[in-house]
Structure 1
């Protein structure tokens, strides 16, 4: 319509009318672009809020995961300390309990911490939607720390392979029977294992003493158990640090709205 009027005004050499129509045309294009930009900005802000909400949920999931790891590794650590202490006593002093402690000290959690939302944000190139520069930096640094923590969680001391190679499978099966691992499922469907709080060996005492003697003959067993204890202590300490950082980041996300 505007272009037809422009042609008509130009044919009549009505330059004032041409100018008015040009102004109307340019203004219309400008306003159309502005409305489109405002609408896109509104959609971007809404998408940013959605990403922050999802990140907040992920952080809560991280804290649940970390709490489970601290509890689980605390149990493994107690077994490792008990096995190490038993080495200073005669092999005949409750060998069944020693076998339980020695085996349970080799437990490990193979699952990874979730970071699906942040991976999606980075892959889509929409990190700027998360908030101001400070918030984006805090989020990025948290996930750098999480990745570093994951490498620590993934570390498995050689003790695990050693004890499970030396300890007869029948003895391992007996430990699992006497100390059944409990699988817990939360309301979100996440499955986590928990070690039995109370274990009583039902292994024949003479067989237990013979097997305990074989285990004690593992070269540098004290050193290996000491390394397990140091590894678990480091994992628990760093897990608590990561949980505190998740809590601080949750607060900043709440402030961002």
Structure 2
């Protein structure tokens, strides 16, 4: 109808009316496109907010794990110090304490997720919907970090294998039963800072003698300590990014979304 009127007015050389009709058409198309894009943008933003909200359980798992890991490995380091003193013949370390510490120093815990978890929940396309560059950078870091540095292979050093080859299995069983890992939550493990189990003196003396016949284990333990120190350094960027995102979620219900 508009075009028919425009043709009629063109034939009548009604140029003002033609311009008005043309402007109406252009404005109508522009407004229609703008409204459609606006609605699409709102839907996209709403979906992105939902996806960021879905990150919460994984964020809590990661931040809880990293926090607990520091406490856990501070405990294994204390056991390591006692074991080192035992190998060096410190008279203040009893045979039983030496054996227990040598075993507990081999305990580890690792993070059971990888970068694909973040990509699956959020998706790379959604990152473009996030205005806040810091939030976008933090999410990108979580999605692209090398999580193999937090897995079992990063901490499963020769010490863990070798020391458990020589400590009698009965003593290992007793230590695990009374002083092994405690599951506070799915992501949080704790290790008792002390382990007072009754090992018969003769058995403790025999096990301690076996350990002292393997001084190379002291070198392995030093490697274990270094691997844990590197692990704790490596968690800092990922932990920092996760904590910032978590704080953003706590402070604002819709963080940085256009």
TM-score normalized with structure 2 length: 0.76
Residues 203 and 14 of structure 1: CA distance in aligned 2, closer, same or farther (over 3 Å): farther
Partner of 1:140: 140
| Distance in 2 between residues matched to 1:92 and 1:211, nearest whole Å | 17
Partner of 2:159: 159
Residue range with higher mean Cα deviation, 23-32 or 195-204: 23-32
Partner of 1:201: 197
Deviation of 1:44 (Å): 2.1
| Distance in 2 between residues matched to 1:153 and 1:240, nearest whole Å | 19
Structure 2 residue runs of 5 or longer lacking an equivalent are none
Residues 61 and 10 of structure 1: CA distance in aligned 2, closer, same or farther (over 3 Å): same
What whole-Å deviation, never above 9, does each CA across 1:98-145 have from its counterpart, x for those lacking one?
111111111121432465663126645322123355542343235445
| Distance in 1 between residues matched to 2:236 and 2:134, nearest whole Å | 23
Residue range with higher mean Cα deviation, 175-184 or 55-64: 55-64
| Distance in 1 between residues matched to 2:165 and 2:30, nearest whole Å | 75
Q: Does 2:207 match 1:211? A: yes
| Distance in 2 between residues matched to 1:191 and 1:57, nearest whole Å | 11
| Distance in 1 between residues matched to 2:75 and 2:138, nearest whole Å | 32
SS at match of 2:184: strand
Contact kept, 8 Å, 2:111 with 2:150, in 1: the verdict is no
Q: How many residue pairs are counted as aligned between the two chains?
A: 250
Structure 1 residue runs of 5 or longer lacking an equivalent are none
Residue range with higher mean Cα deviation, 50-59 or 40-49: 50-59
Q: Does 2:190 match 1:226? A: no
Contact kept, 8 Å, 1:58 with 1:115, in 2: the verdict is no
Residues 236 and 79 of structure 1: CA distance in aligned 2, closer, same or farther (over 3 Å): same
Partner of 2:89: 89
| Distance in 1 between residues matched to 2:145 and 2:244, nearest whole Å | 14
Contact kept, 8 Å, 1:63 with 1:243, in 2: the verdict is yes
Q: Does 2:160 match 1:175? A: no
Residue range with higher mean Cα deviation, 235-244 or 65-74: 235-244
